[in-house]
Amino acid sequence: MMASESLDFVPQASGQHTLRRLLRYMLPYRRTVIFALVLLLLATATDVLQPILIKVFIDRYLIPRHFPKPAMIGLGGGYLALVVMTAGFNVAQLLLFQVLALDVIQTLRVELFDKVQTLSLAFFDRTPVGVLVSRLTNDTEAILDMFMTVLSTFVQNITVLVGILIAMFALDVRLATYCLVLLPVTVAIMLFYRKITAPVFHRARQRLSLLNAKLNESLQGMAVIQAMRQEPRLREEFGTINQAYRQARFRNTQLNALLLRPLMDGIYLLALMLILWYFGERSFAHVVNIGVLYAFVTYLSRFFEPVNSMMQRLNFFQQAMVSSERVFQILDNPDLAPQQEGDHHPVIQRGQICFEDVSFSYDGQTDVLKHISFTALPGQTVALVGHTGSGKSSTVNLLLRFYPVQRGRITIDGIDLRHFSDDELRRKIGLVLQDPFLFVGDVSSNIRLGNTWITDEQVQDAARFVQADTFIDAFDQGYHAPIGERGATLSTGQRQLLSFARTMAMNPAILVLDEATASVDTETEEAIQQALAKMRHGRTTIAIAHRLSTIQDADMILVLHHGEIVERGTHQQLLAQKGLYYNMFLLQQGSTAAP
């Protein structure tokens, strides 16, 4: 595997469209948004008022050297109150916006999860586990950054900027008008910076992916590299990519140094000159208020902080957009799992299964099942045998409605499979998987799964029924014994018995057995076979068998080869045919009769 995901990804939707779609997720929270905005406005107002108080103090009291006590207490108290209020409002609005962003992401995550739940298994077959996990977690996390950036940085900073400008106008309209020039200048620099750095930033990221891909591949293929003595060449190749990345990074740094903080600091000083010049010139004709000058100088020093922080966030924003597009691609994926058709809600009672001329293809080109027809009467066991790729698993996948039936028809109790509800199918058809998948939790949670209607008693009955109770009781914590990742703490046999119990707890009418290929010791094997025999009793069973010895008592054995049923009959009948089944049986007996 190569770490080249970002290289492969081609953004499709336009950035604006993606952004709009993202922002729509905030609609349900509009009350909170408005409340937070009000708080933000209050905070900004109390914040920009502070220099005005100082201005009043300087002009009205300090310069005339006149300090009436009540005014002093009022001003001083007022100033401190404003400081505290600003802080208070800010704490509240910052928290609100952050919580809001987190809530929005929670909504998006759950929506994505719900979507994933409806996707077809074919989608899961195609998509590597890591990629899907990354969509649900890392990509949504990157979008969270976007919301934090847009809300916290952009909205807030722009509000502060506007607040400062309003305060400036309140103090001196003409000077404020001059200062207004700063806005287009900074916006122009921002746009220019964005335009000029976007490709550089992109190039740096691309080279980083390349670097990582090279490193990853080299680490995986190190044995080959060493055996073929290519270490010096590969080092050189890596060195070249490394240098290319260095150059891109350096270029990035150069542009940042040229256009970010140093430039903003420079513009700040130029603006200071403007203010000084304005007051200086005026002073030759009028009396100037030192306090106003003081306030302007203060505002100016605050003007550039928001600009700086916005510019630094621009690149993260881009990354979040890439993640959003990936997430939306899944949300828009039309490849859904088969759903119930019609609203009759038929019920499975007897469990008669019928395949009528079923053909199936995963890719639309090669058929993995060709004209499969058979009937399993209620209570019968039908076994499927054949080599890997002969179509056994596909047959079962169709019966479980993991994939849609494309040609032909499958019926249960004479009713087309498509008409059953998911719930009915899942509760009445019990699947016993070849590789029992256990979840992190404890013994009983693995038997019960999420079916809260299954009582503790039923859990224990199920375990007893498949004779899993002996080893469960031997655990110190019994049914509450913890189970680690993929049940690694249990033996293969124990895992299988647990998965049997899981199926029996549902008490299904139909059993689908996918026999394990892994070998277990004879004693466990015996327990498993006994349990299976008990489970099959009274249930229609479709069994995938690898060891022919385990299905000798099946009512019918279907021998599959390249998606076709080539032989069918009971064990004795098939042996007598001396065909493929016979040879397979010989092979498994370990005898070597020549063909």
Partner 1 sequence: MQVFSDLMWFFKEHRTRYLIGVALLVVVALIALIPPKVIGIVVNELAHHTLTHRRLVYALLAILLSALASYGLRYLWRILLYGGSIQLATELRDRLYHHFTLMAPEFYHEHRIGDLMAHSTNDVQAIQETAGDGVLTLVDSITTGTVVIATMAITISWKLTAIALLPMPLMAYAVSRYGKLLHERFAVAQAAFSDINDRVQEYVSGIRVVRAFGQEAWERQQFVRLSRDVVNKNVAVARIDSLFDPTISVIVGLSYFLSIAFGADFIVHHQMNIGELTTFTLYLGELIWPMLAFGFLFNIVERGSASYERVQRLLEIAPAIQDAPHADTHVPTGDIVYDLERFTYPTQDTPALKHIHLHIRQGETLGIVGRTGSGKTTLMRLLLREFDVDQGDIRIGNRSIKMVTLDALRQCIAYAPQDDFLFSATIRENIAFARPNAALEEIEASARLAQIAHDIERFPEGYETLIGERGTTLSGGQKQRISIARALLQDAEILLLDDTLSAVDGRTEAQILEALRANRLGRTTIIATHRLRTIAHADQIIVLEDGMIVERGTHDSLWAQGGRYHDMYQRQQLEAFVEEGGATV
Which residues in 279-298 contact partner 1 (CB under 8 A)? 279-281, 283-284, 288, 290, 293-294, 297-298
User: Which residue do the tokens 């074919």 mark?
Assistant: 122
Bridge partner list, 384: 544, 558
Chosen residue from 18, 44, 50, 318 binding partner 1 by CB under 8 A: 50
**Chain centroid to CA 64:** 66
- Residue 515, helix vs strand vs coil: coil
What string of DSSP letters covers 530-559?
HHHHHHHTTSEEEEE-SSGGGGTT-SEEEE
Decide: is 488 part of the binding site for partner 1 (CB under 8 A): no
From the CB of residue 346, how many other CB atoms can be counted at a distance below 10 Å? 16
Among 68, 184, 414, 595, binds partner 1 (CB under 8 A): 595
Q: Does 141 bind partner 1 (CB under 8 A)?
A: yes
- For the beta carbon of residue 437, count every other beta carbon within 10 angstroms: 12
Nearer to partner 1, 54 or 377 (CB): 54
For residues 246 and 407, which CB has a smaller minimum distance to partner 1 in the complex? 246
Helix (H/G/I), strand (E/B), else coil: 7: helix
Query: Is the Cβ–Cβ distance between 453 and 460 less than 8 Å?
Result: no
Which of 87, 181, 185, 187: binder of partner 1 (CB under 8 A)? 87
| Piece in contact with partner 1 (CB under 8 A), picked from 160-168, 419-427, 468-476, 532-540 | 419-427
Q: Which helix (H) or strand (E) is 560 found in, with range?
A: strand 556-561
- Does residue 38 belong to the site contacting partner 1 (CB under 8 A)? no
Sign of CA dihedral 27, 320, 105, 128: positive
Check residue 331 for interaction with partner 1 (CB under 8 A). no
Backbone angles phi, psi at 218, to 5 degrees: -65, -40
| Of 212 and 406, CB closest to partner 1 | 212
Among 124, 154, 178, 316, binds partner 1 (CB under 8 A): 124
User: Residue 77 interacts with partner 1 (CB under 8 A)?
Assistant: no
In degrees, to the nearest 5, what angle opens at C-alpha 74 toward C-alphas 69 and 75?
100
Query: Which residues in the 519-558 window bind partner 1 by CB under 8 A?
Result: none
Could you tell me which stretch among 18-26, 172-180, 273-281, 352-360 binds partner 1 (CB under 8 A)? 273-281
Point out which residues pair with 336 in neighbouring strands. 119
Select from 52, 263, 511, 531 the one that contacts partner 1 (CB under 8 A).
263
Query: Which residue in the set 28, 74, 262, 482 belongs to the binding site for partner 1 (CB under 8 A)?
Result: 262
Q: Return the number of the residue (14 or 283) whose C-beta is nearest partner 1.
A: 283
**Which tokens in the block code for residue 49?**
């008022």
Give the Cα-Cα-Cα angle 512, 513, 516 (nearest 5 degrees): 155
Question: 294 or 465: whose CB is closer to partner 1?
Answer: 294
Our finding on whether 583 is near partner 1 (CB under 8 A) is yes
Give counts: helices (H), strands (E), the chain.
23, 12
Residue closer to partner 1, measured from CB, 99 or 470: 99
Site mask, partner 1, residues 90-119, x = CB under 8 A? xxx-xx--xx--xx-xx--xx--xx--x--
Among 187, 192, 439, 455, binds partner 1 (CB under 8 A): 439
* Residue 88 touching partner 1 (CB under 8 A): yes
How far is Cα 495 from Cα 507, in angstroms, rounded to an integer? 19
Structure tokens given for 94: 């910052």
Residues 146-205 within binding reach of partner 1 (CB under 8 A): none
- The CA–CA distances, whole Å, from 357 to 331, 366, 377, 411, 451 equal 35, 17, 17, 11, 35
User: Stretches 162-170, 259-267, 313-321, 549-557: which one binds partner 1 (CB under 8 A)?
Assistant: 259-267
Structure tokens of 313?
């966030």
Residue 118 CB contacts under 8 Å (≥ 6 apart), including other chains:
336, 337
Select the residue interacting with partner 1 from 147, 193, 201, 245 (CB under 8 A): 245
Q: How far is the CB of 80 from partner 1 (least distance, A)?
A: 6
| β-bridge partners, 556 | 382
At residue 119's C-alpha, the angle toward residues 114 and 121, to 5°, is 135
Do residues 94 and 152 touch, judged by C-beta distance below 8 A? yes
Q: Which stretch binds partner 1 (CB under 8 A): 9-17, 161-169, 208-216, 373-381?
A: 208-216
- Is the separation of the CB atoms in 460 and 403 below 8 Å? no
- Which residues does 204 contact at the CB level (< 8 Å), separation at least 6? 245, 248, 249, 251, 252
**Nearest CB to partner 1, comparing residues 155 and 377:** 155
In this chain, which of 227, 285, 474, 488 binds partner 1, going by CB under 8 A?
A: 227
**Of these, 21, 194, 249, 409, which contacts partner 1 (CB under 8 A)?**
249
Per the listing, tokens 């549902």 go with 506
- Min separation Cβ 221 and partner 1, Å: 5
23 binds partner 1 (CB under 8 A): no
Q: Tokens in use for 409?
A: 């028809």
- Of 280 and 482, the one with the shorter C-beta distance to partner 1 is 280
238 belongs to the binding site for partner 1 (CB under 8 A): yes
Q: Number of residues in contact with partner 1, rule: CB under 8 A?
A: 147
Q: Is 335 in the site for partner 1 (CB under 8 A)?
A: no
Q: Which DSSP letter does residue 260 get?
A: S
Neighbours of 584 (CB within 10 A): 17
| Structure token digits, residue 369 | 């099942």
Single residue of 29, 36, 39, 57 touching partner 1 by CB under 8 A: 57
Q: How far is the CB of 447 from partner 1 (least distance, A)?
A: 11
- Minimum gap (Å) between residue 476 Cβ and partner 1: 25
Interface pick for partner 1 out of 198, 224, 518, 533 (rule CB under 8 A): 224
Contact 409, 425 (CB under 8 A): no
Give the residue, chosen from 12, 243, 373, 549, that forms a contact with partner 1 under the rule CB under 8 A: 243
Residue closer to partner 1 (CB basis): 23 or 257: 257
Site for partner 1 in 371-410 (CB under 8 A): 387, 400, 402
CB of 267 to partner 1, least distance (A): 9
Contact indicator for 389, 445 with CB cutoff of 8 Å: no
Closest to partner 1 by CB, 92 vs 183, is 92
Is residue 273 near partner 1 by the rule CB under 8 A? yes
> In 3-state terms, what secondary structure has residue 360?
strand
